[in-house]
Amino acid sequence: MNTSTTASLNSNKRSMTFDVSVDNVVFGFDGDDLRILLIRQGLPGQDMGQERFHMAVPGDLVLPEEGLDEAASRILSNLTSIKGIFLKQFYTFGAPDRVFHEKDKEWLTKMRRYPDRRVVSVGYYSLVALADYRPKPNSFASQVEWCLLSNIPTLAFDHNAIIDAGLEQLREDVANRNIIFELLPEKFTLGQLQRLHEIILGKTLDKRNFRKNVKRMADVVALDEKQAGVLHKPAQLYTYRRQD
Amino acid sequence: MNTSTTASLNSNKRSMTFDVSVDNVVFGFDGDDLRILLIRQGLPGQDMGQERFHMAVPGDLVLPEEGLDEAASRILSNLTSIKGIFLKQFYTFGAPDRVFHEKDKEWLTKMRRYPDRRVVSVGYYSLVALADYRPKPNSFASQVEWCLLSNIPTLAFDHNAIIDAGLEQLREDVANRNIIFELLPEKFTLGQLQRLHEIILGKTLDKRNFRKNVKRMADVVALDEKQAGVLHKPAQLYTYRRQD
DNA sequence: ACAAAAGTGTTGGAGATACACCCATGA
DNA sequence: TCATGGGTGTATCTCCAACACTTTTGT
């Protein structure tokens, strides 16, 4: 092969291999607060002397025959044991040193076959209505927890930045598409819908104007059913039905 | 290592390596039409008998020490020899078979060191004002051409899908951010601005309403200069100055 | 004079904003 | 009866859509 004619943009001069992973920012709404699914893993081979944990957003290496969306939903269903959840790719994180900070070294060494390999991670976010599906912590030696969005601790790798980027994308998507209903149970009140908007957008909204807007969305239909067992005037229940 | 306690989401059962590449959808506006930068490479080792070409969006494997944004701007500056161009990551393409179609086999075999490796590609789009910078076809044995958006041929791999996705993202970003000015020369007319909007959004706009909207954007300022040498009433020139 | 794009206002309707009080329930 | 969120209407203003003719230049 004559390199002087075949030299190209697709240079092979230096070659390397990457690992590709998917990290999933899972948002859940419990009726009052927005939460994020985190996994805590004890570092193996320690005698509980000082507890050391690895806290992270759920993620995994992509398998050889697996597409990216597929990997994201596998990761999610391993944790929550439910399927059919809203999932969206939002950004890919590829800084050369993103997994090579001192704090992450121990975990990488113990858990990864090639701890020195550069890892490019494709970020997804997911929306889960906590009221419908109480997800079971299904997984192995790790615990899952729904952490308040306002209370996220320092996480492994660049996962705090991944969450920030996911939240920013969520804000945009809520403004432009009807995805917010993915976070609500099948039956919800207008109060919940408004609170959720306020949390995501980070500002308060006028109740009467908000309800006026909702009333002119054809997709939000009133059920003839009301809240029960609540310590105030029970609210009308609504549901979301995508028009055809 | 005790696998029963360390088994985790980050399974190492099957392991593989990926190549990671960046593909760049470069939009250029020439004053009349929206175009996309394509590269055409003759397949090496052929005797011009039947001409066979590889046509693709500019792209390359990411280098070992290089970030993704960095790779995208390297690819772009190799082709256009200008810097400081607007660049944005929009989606990552990772279908397991995305480079393994029959039509692409020859190119992969001849140009890539590991033609069997799965390739995950991070899509970027870029915006170039063709009137300011006439980019020189700078590159090796390949030719660059600015192809009309309405005339894109069948390209290598999944590059047609990448262009579609890039265009969709561009549409959204034009609606939500002030990026459209990246496609215009420093001095432009309101007619050009409107035409560009119409092309990108795929619909015609009312001239008077359009101009009303522009006039209330503080960032678009009238120069005291007019078009010259044009076969009709010369237009007022404007420029875009980001407010502080 | 003609061709070709530039430039310019008004009106009616829809959506946004601002604002305060009564209601139904469980404890 | 009290605490708690549920539920409701009006006035103003801004933004959007629809619509047609005159102006300036080069040939």
Q: What is the pLDDT of residues A203-217, one digit of tens each?
A: 999 999 999 999 999
How confident is the model at residue B1, as a pLDDT?
34
Q: How far is B13 from chain A (nearest CA, A)?
A: 9
pLDDT in tens, chain B (244 residues): 333 333 344 444 445 789 999 999 999 999 889 999 999 887 665 555 556 788 999 999 999 999 999 999 999 988 877 777 899 999 999 999 999 999 999 999 998 999 999 999 999 999 999 877 665 555 555 688 899 999 999 999 999 999 999 999 999 999 999 999 999 999 999 999 999 999 999 999 999 999 999 999 999 999 999 999 899 999 999 999 988 7
Q: What is the DSSP string of A178-231?
A: S-GGGGS-SSB-HHHHHHHHHHHHTS---HHHHHHHHHT-TTEEEEEEE--S-S
Same domain (yes/no): A134, A233: no
Last residue of a domain, one of B176, B199, B223: B176
How confident is the model at residue B32, as a pLDDT?
87
Same domain (yes/no): A137, A109: yes
- The confidence band for A83, taking pLDDT boundaries of 50, 70 and 90, is confident
Same domain (yes/no): B70, B120: yes
Q: Is the Cβ pair A60, B9 closer than 8 Å?
A: yes
Q: What are the two backbone dihedrals, phi and then psi, of residue A3, each rounded to the nearest 5 degrees?
A: -70, -25
Same domain (yes/no): A164, A50: yes
Question: CA–C1' distance B208–C9 (Å)?
Answer: 9
Residue B124 covered by a domain? yes
Same domain (yes/no): B168, B202: no
Same domain (yes/no): B116, B224: no
How confident is the model at residue A133, as a pLDDT?
65
Residue A191 covered by a domain? yes
Residue B1 covered by a domain? no
Same domain (yes/no): B160, B212: no
One-letter identity of residue B67 = G
Same domain (yes/no): B84, B172: yes
Residue B211 covered by a domain? yes
Question: How many distinct structural domains can be found in chain A?
Answer: 2
Last residue of a domain, one of B142, B176, B210: B176
Same domain (yes/no): A208, A169: no
Averaged pLDDT, A48-61: 82
Burial of B74 (0-12, 13-18, 19+ CB in 10 A): middle
How confident is the model at residue A15, as a pLDDT?
56
Q: What is the DSSP string of chain B?
A: --HHHH--SS--SS---EEEEEEEEEEEE-SS-EEEEEEEEEPSS--SSS--EEEE-SEEEPPTT--HHHHHHHHHHHHH-----EEEEEEEE--TTTT--HHHHHHHHHH-SSTTSEEEEEEEEEEEETTT-------TTEEEEEEEGGG----STTHHHHHHHHHHHHHHHHHHSS-GGGGS-SSB-HHHHHHHHHHHHTS---HHHHHHHHHT-TTEEEEEEE--S-SSSPPEEEEE----
The answer to whether strand C lies under 7 Å from the CB of residue B21 is no
Same domain (yes/no): B202, B92: no
**Furthest-apart CA atoms within chain A: distance in Å:** 81
Residue A1 covered by a domain? no
- Whether A219 has a pLDDT exceeding 60, the answer reads yes
Domain containing residue A232: CATH number = 1.10.10.10
**For residue A202, what are the domain limits?**
186-240
Residue A18 covered by a domain? yes
Residue B93 covered by a domain? yes
Same domain (yes/no): A159, A193: no
Contacts of A118 in chain B (CB under 8 A): 64
Answer left, alpha or beta for residue B149, where phi above 0 means left and psi between -120 and 50 means alpha.
alpha
Nearest to A64 among B14, B41, B139 (CB): B14
Residue B147 covered by a domain? yes
Is B60 in contact with B71 (CB distance < 8 Å)?
Answer: yes
Between CA A24 and CA A87 the distance in angstroms is: 9
Same domain (yes/no): B122, B233: no
Chain C nucleotides reached by a protein CB under 7 Å? 3-10, 15-20, 23-27
How confident is the model at residue B45, as a pLDDT?
59
Last residue of a domain, one of B120, B155, B176: B176
Give the global pTM.
0.91
Residue of A nearest to B58 (CA): A9
Buried b (16+ CB within 10 A) or exposed e, B154-168: ebbbbbeebbebbbe
